[in-house]
Structure 1
Amino acid sequence: MSGALIGFSLSAGLWLMASGWWRNRRPSVDQRVLPYVRDVHPYIDGPAGSAGVVGAVFGPSVRRAGATVGEWVGSSSSVRSRLDRLGDPRGPDDFRVRQALWGVSGLGLAIATSLVLWVSQRTPAPILLVACAFGFIAGVMWCDNRLTDRVRRREKEMEAEFPVVAELLALAVAAGESPVAGLERVLQVSHGSLSDELTRVMAEIRTGTSMAAAFDQLARRTAVTSISRFAEGLAVALDRGTPLVDVLHAQAADVRESARRELMETGGRKEVAMMIPVVFLVLPVTVVFAFYPGLVGLHLTSGS
């Protein structure tokens, strides 16, 4: 095992040297042009410090690894859509890099566990290699599933916050506020995932986007049905002059009714699941407690 590790380290070092020489034998266009335009347009990665050196040395390799991982596990459009729904300003490339790092972490943990198993129990090497590959794949997939879980949890929070925000906006508009001023007033007293999305909408409105277009973009980037319907209804109401108060009250009532119906459906499914401990645990114990005294009395009568 020691010889294998030494051979692997030596071959990996030689491969890195050869690939680095092949990649850097001719400078790229960025490397040739950057020294002449640095004073006009500073380099986006910042000054050459410790982080700059680390990024310059390991950044290209990590980005290529992230792109390779992205080709294996799925398309970048799905990642971009989920990041947009999550409100994360980072792009798919950053997520792929994070995925590759999680895969390397899983691989390192699997290698450490494999070394312990090799030393203590002499586990066959093919099984350990499969375990290492599984550790890398598990790290990559765990990062992707974690992103999906974060998006789902955020959308549930938005759906739970929507009726309150819609009612507050309806009250503000009914009191004489304009939709933009009412939305700003609501955002001052509300906090949460939906408030963050509406803050993003307000930022787009302040930069010159019309309110209808901003809410149309909100409807396109969110996967919550109630939020999409709210944004589309608000955009249509602003375009056609429909009374906003009635629209907001109706949508809040629809969301509450949908939540009540979903709660009843969940309760119905849980009711079936609750029959399992009742049938297989509570009922047998009740039968034992009911018949055991009679069984003991029969034994005593037969013995006498």
Structure 2
Amino acid sequence: MTGQIATAAACGVVLGCGFWLLLIRLPFMRPTTFVERIGPQLKSHNLESRLLRAVPRNFTPFGPLERILRPVIGDAVLWLGRLNPGSSALKRRLARAGTVKSPADFRAEQLLWGAAGFVAAVGAVVLFGASGRFSPLLAVVLVIGSAAGGFMLRDYLLGARIRKREARMMAEFPSVAELMALAVSAGESATGALDRVCRSARGELSKDFTHVLAETRAGKPLVEALQEFSSRTELGPLLRFVDGLVVAVERGTPLADVLRAQAQDARDTAKRELMESAGKKEIGMMIPVVFGVLPLTVVFAVFPGLAAISMGL
């Protein structure tokens, strides 16, 4: 009986992994990247027939299976890159999260979370064994899965912190840009406008600008400090803002106009994202309406007639 349970558990795991792969590869589960959005507009018109193009060559003898699994392998390579203890990508992610931890400290935390999951799984296995419901295969899967889950959960929480922090930064960005534009219009220099923003504003973006201002006061050129700030973020509007600020400082172009244009661009981007989010929510609201409200409405409309027919009225 134990062998049958183990075989059933293994088949269930394989079936669950298959359904999970099918789910995450659906079009609405994979976010559209910026490159995919602008690709059709930047693509040059090629009049060559598709039948004459060279077929992508396979590097393994698996044929179509390789093309099917290629996206999964690419995602696996990206995930394995996160496990590198000295990864520069991890250092950038920690900077984006606004933490002062080093990559080694973060990896140590991940190991502690994995050890905690391992200890919790071992305790659960011991309890199951004491109650007489012990399965070796299930115990091994539970222990290994809990340790790996604890290790990856810490990485997921870091990503969630980055998303929340960047969302707050984008919410603060238009106001900060307009405040800098007002300061520059009043006669302040770029450094003076940064100082005024850091003294007046409160938030994640003002903290980063405080760091830039501190580096400038320590002797680093403003352009270099701004470029280092842009290397610590991946937000498109902020990158364009910093690039415009750098160009205005280097070439002497009107800084106030550049800042106002960047603030308006940020507000337009926020409106566009809000409209996209509203469109997605509207589609999601159709699920409870179709499967919840509509059947109840039909029941309330049809039931009195069926009751009258059954009573012979």
Deviations 1:224-262 (A, max 9, x none): 111111111101100011111111111111111111111
- The equivalent of 1:207 in structure 2 is 218
- The equivalent of 2:115 in structure 1 is 104
Alignment partner of 1:77 is 2:58: no
Provide the rounded CA distance (Å) in 2 between the counterparts of 1:296 and 1:179.
Answer: 78
Alignment partner of 1:253 is 2:292: no
Higher-Rg member (1/2)? 1
Provide the rounded CA distance (Å) in 1 between the counterparts of 2:200 and 2:110.
Answer: 37
Contact 2:82/2:90, CA 8 A, preserved across alignment: no
Provide the rounded CA distance (Å) in 2 between the counterparts of 1:216 and 1:206.
Answer: 16
Q: Greater CA deviation, 272-281 or 227-236? A: 272-281
* Displacement of 1:103: 1.0
Q: In structure 2, list runs of 5 or more residues that go unmatched.
A: 1-79
- Counterpart of 1:149, as a letter, is A
Provide the rounded CA distance (Å) in 2 between the counterparts of 1:126 and 1:281.
Answer: 40
SS in 2 for 1:123: coil
Alignment partner of 1:182 is 2:193: yes
* Displacement of 1:295: 2.9
Q: TM-score, normalised by structure 2?
A: 0.70
Which of residues 291, 298, 309 in structure 2 aligns to 1:280? Answer: 291
Which of residues 98, 116, 123 in structure 2 aligns to 1:87? Answer: 98
SS in 1 for 2:131: helix
* Displacement of 1:296: 3.0
- The equivalent of 1:194 in structure 2 is 205
Structural RMSD (CA) = 1.8
Q: TM-score, normalised by structure 1?
A: 0.72
Deviations 1:102-161 (A, max 9, x none): 111111111111111111133123422331111211111111111111112111111111
Alignment partner of 1:221 is 2:229: no
* Displacement of 1:71: 8.3
Alignment partner of 1:134 is 2:145: yes
- Counterpart of 2:268, as a letter, is E
- The equivalent of 1:115 in structure 2 is 126
- The equivalent of 2:157 in structure 1 is 146
Alignment partner of 1:292 is 2:298: no
Q: 1:290 to 1:127 in 2, by over 3 A?
A: closer
More helix by share: 1
Identity across matched positions, percent: 45
Contact 2:125/2:139, CA 8 A, preserved across alignment: yes
Contact 1:219/1:229, CA 8 A, preserved across alignment: no
Deviations 1:170-222 (A, max 9, x none): 11111112221121111112111111111110011011111111111111221
* Displacement of 1:162: 0.4
Q: In structure 1, list runs of 5 or more residues that go unmatched.
A: 1-69
* Displacement of 1:72: 8.6
- The equivalent of 1:236 in structure 2 is 247
